[in-house]
Structure 1
Amino acid sequence: MGNFLRPEVRAFLERWREVLLAGVVFLLGVWWALTGVGINVWLGYIFCLIGIGWGVAAVQPARFAQDGDGPGVVQIRERRLAYFGPLDGGIMDVADLSRLEIDPTSHPDPSWVLTSIEGQVLAIPINAKGAEGLFDVFASLPDIKTNTVLDVLSRTPDARVTVWSRVKPLLH
């Protein structure tokens, strides 16, 4: 049964599954709102709102996710990033992150380049296994614009682009 769908279709369904489930909840809500009686009508409206909210929240992580066939593995545990690659890797606390960049020229795949306050640099391929979890980490950074991150990721620039940097306090 697992071989019934082509791998591309299976990957698409896996990537967009939450958005599709939100659509099902929304459609169930519409059906109840239009055909229900009594409290089912109100439950239908509530399901519509839940489906819309869930769908809006699920679109950004789905746009961020890649195929996961890149080199290395990303682990995120208690606000600490770890990347284990075939040639390099490292561990970095999210609180120490000072700059986030995307480098489309890195080999073999474009990479997220994370720089800490101390100057440690960690390059993580955008399609490494577990890299989809980076969306939640990036979204938690202060003053980051997630739409900017998604736009840069979707258009693949020619040179390294700084997506976010920590505002440094001015000392007088």
Structure 2
Amino acid sequence: MSGFVRPEAMAALRRWREALIGLAVVLAGGFVALAALTVIILGVGLAFAAIGLFLLWGGIQRGRFRQAAIGPGVVTLDEGRVTYMGPLDGGVIDIEDMAVLLLDTRSRPPVWVLRQNFEAPVHIPVNATGADRLFDAFLRLPGIQTGRMVRHLNRSRADLVMIWEREDGVGWPQALN
């Protein structure tokens, strides 16, 4: 079975799997709604179609966020704690204590820069193994705009972009004067 589907096609299916599931739910709900003989079944079909639209929207964002895992290092996510183990550096950061999230597209590959209070920042390549788990971690940040984050990630312009910053300013040095 492994030789049946080309590796490039399997990689594309894996990248967009949530969006494909959402599309299947939309189509199934639409089919049920169109074939409905009663108002109750029509409502069930429309409800499934609406749920499928939410799944499709989230799947498209996840698919755009996900990169090929060919970069250096490994990312793990365990109960809100992101750990990056790279060939030259690494780090651990708790999402609840994070103060700033930056995307540096000036480097190759682009890197996520996670800053926590007064600690050294953690630099994670966007294509590190397991970096797609960061999408779930970033969803825990209050007020983050995932659409903006994905748009900057897929943009070809090289710059340093502030994706998210803690609003209360906890952990930042206060001005002395």
User: Given the two structures, how large is their TM-score scaled by the length of structure 2?
Assistant: 0.87
Aligned-residue Cα RMSD (Å) equals: 2.0
Shift of 1:83: 0.3
Q: Does structure 1 residue 164 correspond to structure 2 residue 160?
A: no
How far apart are the structure 1 equivalents of 2:53 and 2:96? 32
Shift of 1:81: 0.7
How far apart are the structure 2 equivalents of 1:159 and 1:29? 43
User: Partner residue of 1:87?
Assistant: 88
How far apart are the structure 2 equivalents of 1:8 and 1:164? 33
User: Partner residue of 1:141?
Assistant: 141
Misfit runs of 4+, over 6 Å: none
Matches within 5 A, 1:19-168: 19-38=19-38, 39-107=40-108, 109-167=109-167, 168=169
Shift of 1:97: 1.2
Q: Secondary structure at the match of 1:100?
A: strand
CA deviation profile, 1:67-91 (whole Å, cap 9, x unmatched): 1111111001111110011111111
How far apart are the structure 1 equivalents of 2:41 and 2:165? 49
CA deviation profile, 1:93-129 (whole Å, cap 9, x unmatched): 112211111112334x111011111132100000111
Q: Secondary structure at the match of 1:149?
A: helix
Between the aligned residues of both structures, percent identity stands at: 40
How far apart are the structure 2 equivalents of 1:126 and 1:24? 29
Q: Does structure 1 residue 4 correspond to structure 2 residue 9?
A: no
Residue identity matched to 1:88: D
- How many aligned positions are there? 171
Shift of 1:14: 0.6
How far apart are the structure 1 equivalents of 2:110 and 2:156? 8
Shift of 1:66: 0.6
How far apart are the structure 1 equivalents of 2:63 and 2:153? 12
Residue identity matched to 1:165: E
Residue identity matched to 1:66: Q
Shift of 1:142: 1.9
Unaligned runs of 5+ in 2: none
User: Given the two structures, how large is their TM-score scaled by the length of structure 1?
Assistant: 0.90
Unaligned runs of 5+ in 1: none
